[in-house]
Amino acid sequence: MTKLPTNSPTDFCVAFIERELEDNRKKKIWMTRWPLMQRMIDQASNLEKVFNELINKFGYADKLAIPSEPERPNAEAVWLTLEHIWLSDDFAKEEFVQARTDRRELLKLQEDISELSCRLAGMLRRQSELYELSGFRRHDYQTAVDSLVQGANHNYLFGAYVKNELESLAYQYDLKYWPSRADVVEAIGEFEERLPIPEHVEIPDEVLDGRASDHKDFVLAFDAQFDELNQLPNGFRFSNQAMADIINVVLDLPEDKLILGDTIRTIRNRYVVANRN
């Protein structure tokens, strides 16, 4: 194993990324990540501040050459933070636009399911009432258990392991011990009504709640990963200018579109600090 250079943070990080890229190419994995990893290598001079802050914080810690166990957290911090950067093109605007659309649909479905369940439960109760009082004969009756059995017709495991036991219980206890079909349908609606606003597993609420913005979305999503229960160094933040450099390289922005550290400072102050208050 070739030892990574420790003469400068940039040389160390570039060598690290080169080694990871070469390994990925040999194994033919993470192919969609190769262009960004190569761009980080090619534009290493634009990421000097990023590499300096990372190594100054965690040292020249190589995940493949850890001399002692106490150094492992630092080695993982360097490795996973660099990986976080070359994975961060997932924070492109298109994904956030789709996530906002999906969440709106989920919320509308929750509302519709709740409303329709309430209406259907009322219709089922009215149907039962009419059969009981109007003199019309009901030729068959479906209980909540019957509904479960019928709904699981194509579920082999249910038929093999659950159906007989469930039907046995239905024979032991008459209808007064079981919820009606209307009760079950109503419970579905009540459950949907109680659900909180859906949370995305990767995209923070600040991104989904705010107006669309490539830079804002990227910063909030990138920073939020350091606050999640994962192996990234908890609470770590790149400086405003380093974060700007990351975005410029990751999004491959042209010279006339490059953002500055002041833009990142404004985003963090406006959205992050405001949400903490």
Structure confidence at residue 177 (pLDDT)? 92
Residues 248, 185 within the same domain: no
């399911």: which residue's tokens?
Answer: 113
Contacts of 81 (CB under 8 A, 6+ apart): 54, 58, 232, 233, 236
Residues 82, 108 within the same domain: no
Residue 163: inside a domain: yes
Residues 87, 223 within the same domain: yes
Across the range 249-267, mean pLDDT stands at 92
Across the range 258-274, mean pLDDT stands at 85
Task: Mark residue 178 as left, alpha or beta (left: phi above 0; alpha: psi -120 to 50; beta: remaining).
Answer: beta
Find out whether 58 and 217 touch, Cβ atoms under 8 Å: no
CA–CA distance, 201 with 37 (Å, rounded to integer): 24
Find out whether 120 and 185 touch, Cβ atoms under 8 Å: yes
- Six-digit token pair at 162? 């659950």
Residue 202: inside a domain: no
Query: Taking the alpha carbons of 106, 107, 108, 114 in that order, is the dihedral positive or negative?
Result: positive
Residues 44, 86 within the same domain: yes
Residue 203: inside a domain: no
Across the range 96-109, mean pLDDT stands at 84
Give per-residue pLDDT as tens, 117-176.
Answer: 999 999 999 999 999 999 898 888 889 999 999 999 999 999 999 999 999 999 999 989
pLDDT band (50, 70, 90) for residue 100: confident
Structure confidence at residue 65 (pLDDT)? 77
Residue 205: inside a domain: no
CA–CA distance, 247 with 244 (Å, rounded to integer): 5
Residues 121, 170 within the same domain: yes
Percent above pLDDT 90 for the chain? 67
Residues 115, 250 within the same domain: no
Residue 204: inside a domain: no
Residues 108, 190 within the same domain: yes
Structure confidence at residue 90 (pLDDT)? 76
Across the range 32-59, mean pLDDT stands at 96
Residue 4: inside a domain: no
- Six-digit token pair at 10? 């940039």
Give per-residue pLDDT as tens, 198-229.
Answer: 888 777 776 677 555 568 888 988 999 999 88
- Range of the structural domain that residue 80 is part of: 9-91+212-276
Residues 71, 149 within the same domain: no
For the residues of 32-100, what is the DSSP string, one character each? GGHHHHHHHHHTGGGGHHHHHHHHHHH-S--TT--SSGGGHHHHHHHHHHHHHHHHGGGGSHHHHHHHH
Last residue of a domain, one of 160, 194, 228: 194
What is the number of structural domains in the chain? 2
Structure confidence at residue 274 (pLDDT)? 47
Residue 38: inside a domain: yes
Residue 260: inside a domain: yes
